[in-house]
Chain A
Amino acid sequence: MNSKRRIFAGAVALSFVVAACGSDDDSSSDEAETEASAAVEDAESAVTEAEEAAETETSEAMEEAETETSEAMEEAETETSEAMEDEGSEETADLSSLSGDITISGSSTVEPVSVRVQELFNEQAPDVNITVDGPGTGDGFVLFCEGSTDISDASRAIKDEEAAACEEAGIEFTELQVGIDGLAVITNSANDAVECLSFEQIYAMVGPESTGITNWSDANELAVEVGGEGDLPDAELEIYGPGEESGTFDSFIEIVLEGIAEEREQEAITRPDYNPSADDNVILQGIQGADTSLGWVGYAFADTAENVKLLEVDGGEGCVAADPDTIASNEYPVSRPLFIYVNNATAAENPQLEAFVDFYMAEGLDTAVAEVDYVALSDDAKAEVRAAWDSAL
């Protein structure tokens, strides 16, 4: 809240300055306010009229009055928001006076989102020097908990041991979800024997007990054993996926494999004998090169790729295809949250960092996430995250 107060105070101070100079801008915003309050008065009188009418006339008149009221209220709202926007442009002027450094590191998946926010923020605050880097979620947390970075991008929630390292170093942080990334389970587009895979079937083909299986149908026995359907086709199985260092690897295990692995008292890992790569393009090339291949990558990568088929996934509640709607609504079972972690103390000390995170919470959630092909949060989720940030300061 502090930041907004400051910005508001800045805006007020600025408008005083402008008023002292006798600029027309200010009088026009005054006019807007007057108009707005007049419109509110109109609306109120309409309500009073409606109430009076309701007492004497029929319900028809009541409805008419209600329409009038809502129209008048809408008008009032529009004019008020216009007046607010005038203040918004003064907020812009406030950002341009900011300077200093912001260091962001962490997940290479979240990196494009933060870069996009950096670009938009720098349009308004060109003197704030921001660096965004993407060595990986785990490496990012190491740097973050050493205090070398201000914001850590993460494609999974912070682990207990990572949080402990932060605590040991005396670093308090705020976790803010900025978007959602769906993981796509993919095969070659020529593969028409499979449309949908259940978690059980994926476990039977990719999980820790699947080592050595080279044919889809060989996994049927295990799939049935763990409670899935045994209808996998008789076809060669070639698996391509991200390597252990990747956040996509961790997320896939957590979402798909971990539950079943725990039930069966197995370690939650993939089989060791698949084709891992840190480069999503290499994974896609593998999938494209073999007719009955199986793999997983981030949804944004798979969605635009040619000759790749996105499989439906059954997480226990029926088969769901991956698309932006099903991912946003959490219907599609293989999706993961994208976070930023903000160093509280640094944000409180550095106005440019605080302004940047404020900006992230506004433009970032609304614009940047979708612009770099991830799935934006629902309005409720956005409100929740914004509230979390407000209460952190």
Chain B
Amino acid sequence: MIFTEPLVGDKTRESIRASITEPRADVAGRVFKALVVGSIVVTLLIVGILFFDQINGGWPQLSTRLGGFLQGTLRSRSEDELLGVHQALYGSLWIAIFVAVFAFPIGIAAAVYLEEYASTNRFTGFVELTIRNLAGVPSVVYGLLGLYLFVNDGWIKENITNGPTVISAGLTLAILVLPVVIITSQEALRSVPSGLKEGAYGVGATKWDVIRTQMLPYAAPGILTGTLLSMSRAIGEAAPLILIGAITGGLTANPGFTDVGALDDRFTAMPIIITTWVQQSGRDAGFAVAAAAAIVVLLCFVLLLNLAAILLRNRYENKRTV
């Protein structure tokens, strides 16, 4: 049988043509597109203005003595030629390493457990709810937790942390980002197509095989994005470090980046020296310049980390398609 009659009537055909070709066609869609483009422009503008404003503010330091600024220490006067951020970079770098070493494996493992092993019952529900709530707890509260756990007198202080040190700070911030790492990893694991899993089970793979060879490689880019975003957050936190006792005034020790022996000494970190220099700028206006320069250094540090995350993610994504 041959169709002689069109599937839609003339009237419908006209209205479809009009909605595609007429000048006032699809107004809502165009407005929506303008809105999303506008949002991205605003976001980029804010980041751009912030970045250039800080570069501009810190230029006297950045242009004349970048090397000295990167190797320098906390000083009492802004015109001091030894002023710089090396001690703070040391603190922030090792905090990042502690977060990577402690929060990531534990967080990802917890996510795998919750997604693949835990049975769906009230207890699991309670645990999931608690983790989601913990992710929203203000960072100062984690600072207090770190203070009691790691800094105050006790077995942990005597044997592991030695009081207000890089170790205490690193562990506290690792705890701080743990809930976020778990949640983002869970989301990434959930995005693995069930067909992939079932196919693997179908050919006789064990649960461990499926997780190792199918789940984790497929979820890796998502896990990486989430974990490295949470690391950027850990590097930018000032409030918990203030509670733990990061140094704001002066520190003699200026250890090299690879000097592991200084991990159980008093420390400072990038957000701390930015805060303290902004405060000092009332006494000595040159510290405003130093603070702006330190902000630029911190932004570059975080950008480098994100760049590393993007490169790693691309590598995993390429592997997956092969």
Which A residues contact B (CB, under 8 angstroms)?
A: 104, 108, 111-116, 118-119, 122, 126, 128-134, 279-281, 284, 297-298, 300-301, 304-305, 368, 371-373
Pair A372/B250 contact, Cβ less than 8 Å: no
Pair B283/A129 contact, Cβ less than 8 Å: no
Whether B234 is near chain A, meaning CB under 8 Å from some CB there, is no
Pair B248/A129 contact, Cβ less than 8 Å: no
Pair B252/A118 contact, Cβ less than 8 Å: yes
Given contacts A116-B76, A372-B76, is CB(A304)–CB(B285) below 8 Å?
yes
Whether B278 is near chain A, meaning CB under 8 Å from some CB there, is yes
Of the candidates B245, B278, B280, B283, the one having the most CB atoms from chain A within 10 angstroms of its own CB is: B283
Whether B53 is near chain A, meaning CB under 8 Å from some CB there, is no
- Expressed in whole angstroms, the Cα–Cα distance for A280 and B276 within the complex equals 12
Whether B306 is near chain A, meaning CB under 8 Å from some CB there, is no
Is the contact region of chain B dominated by helix, strand, or loop, or is it mixed?
loop
Extra contacts, 15 of them, besides A112-B249, A115-B250, A133-B245 (Cβ < 8 A), are A108-B279, A111-B248, A115-B74, A130-B250, A130-B252, A131-B250, A131-B266, A132-B247, A132-B249, A133-B249, A279-B278, A297-B282, A300-B283, A305-B282, A372-B76
Pair B250/A129 contact, Cβ less than 8 Å: no
- Expressed in whole angstroms, the Cα–Cα distance for A297 and B282 within the complex equals 10
- Expressed in whole angstroms, the Cα–Cα distance for A144 and B285 within the complex equals 31
The contact of A112 among B76, B247, B265, B285, by CB within 8 Å, is B76
- Expressed in whole angstroms, the Cα–Cα distance for A297 and B283 within the complex equals 10
Instruction: Say how far B248's CB is from chain A's closest CB, in angstroms.
Output: 5
Pair A111/B284 contact, Cβ less than 8 Å: no
Given contacts A131-B247, A372-B283, is CB(A119)–CB(B253) below 8 Å?
no
Whether B196 is near chain A, meaning CB under 8 Å from some CB there, is no
Pair A129/B253 contact, Cβ less than 8 Å: yes
Whether B281 is near chain A, meaning CB under 8 Å from some CB there, is yes
- Expressed in whole angstroms, the Cα–Cα distance for A373 and B265 within the complex equals 30
The contact of B282 among A128, A131, A280, by CB within 8 Å, is A280
Interface residues of B, count at CB 8 A: 24
Give chain B residues whose Cβ lies under 8 Å from the Cβ of A281. Answer: 278-279, 281-282
Instruction: Say how far B147's CB is from chain A's closest CB, in angstroms.
Output: 13
Given contacts A301-B282, A373-B283, is CB(A134)–CB(B252) below 8 Å?
no
Give chain A residues whose Cβ lies under 8 Å from the Cβ of B75. Answer: 115, 119
Pair A111/B249 contact, Cβ less than 8 Å: yes
Give chain A residues whose Cβ lies under 8 Å from the Cβ of B82. Answer: 119
- Expressed in whole angstroms, the Cα–Cα distance for A118 and B266 within the complex equals 15
A-B contact pairs, 28 of them (CB 8 A): A104-B249, A111-B250, A112-B76, A112-B249, A114-B250, A115-B74, A115-B76, A115-B249, A115-B250, A116-B77, A119-B75, A119-B82, A119-B250, A126-B252, A129-B265, A130-B250, A131-B250, A132-B247, A132-B250, A132-B251, A133-B247, A280-B279, A280-B282, A281-B279, A297-B282, A298-B283, A300-B283, A304-B283
Which B residues contact A (CB, under 8 angstroms)?
A: 74-77, 80, 82, 245, 247-253, 265-266, 278-285
Pair B249/A114 contact, Cβ less than 8 Å: yes
Give chain A residues whose Cβ lies under 8 Å from the Cβ of B282. Answer: 279-281, 284, 297, 301, 305
- Expressed in whole angstroms, the Cα–Cα distance for A187 and B282 within the complex equals 16
The contact of A128 among B247, B249, B252, by CB within 8 Å, is B252
- Expressed in whole angstroms, the Cα–Cα distance for A112 and B77 within the complex equals 8
**Chain B residue nearest in CB terms to A103:** B266
- Expressed in whole angstroms, the Cα–Cα distance for A122 and B254 within the complex equals 12
Give chain B residues whose Cβ lies under 8 Å from the Cβ of A129. Answer: 252-253, 265
Instruction: Say how far B127's CB is from chain A's closest CB, in angstroms.
Output: 37
Give chain A residues whose Cβ lies under 8 Å from the Cβ of B284. Answer: 112, 304, 372-373
Instruction: Say how far A301's CB is from chain B's closest CB, in angstroms.
Output: 4
- Expressed in whole angstroms, the Cα–Cα distance for A253 and B250 within the complex equals 30
The contact of B283 among A112, A119, A126, A132, by CB within 8 Å, is A112
Given contacts A132-B250, A133-B248, A133-B249, is CB(A371)–CB(B77) below 8 Å?
yes
Instruction: Say how far B244's CB is from chain A's closest CB, in angstroms.
Output: 12
Give chain A residues whose Cβ lies under 8 Å from the Cβ of B278. Answer: 279, 281
- Expressed in whole angstroms, the Cα–Cα distance for A193 and B250 within the complex equals 43
Give chain A residues whose Cβ lies under 8 Å from the Cβ of B249. Answer: 104, 111-112, 114-115, 131-134
**Chain A residue nearest in CB terms to B279:** A279
Instruction: Say how far B68's CB is from chain A's closest CB, in angstroms.
Output: 15
Pair B77/A372 contact, Cβ less than 8 Å: yes
- Expressed in whole angstroms, the Cα–Cα distance for A285 and B278 within the complex equals 13
Given contacts A115-B75, A115-B76, is CB(A131)–CB(B279) below 8 Å?
no
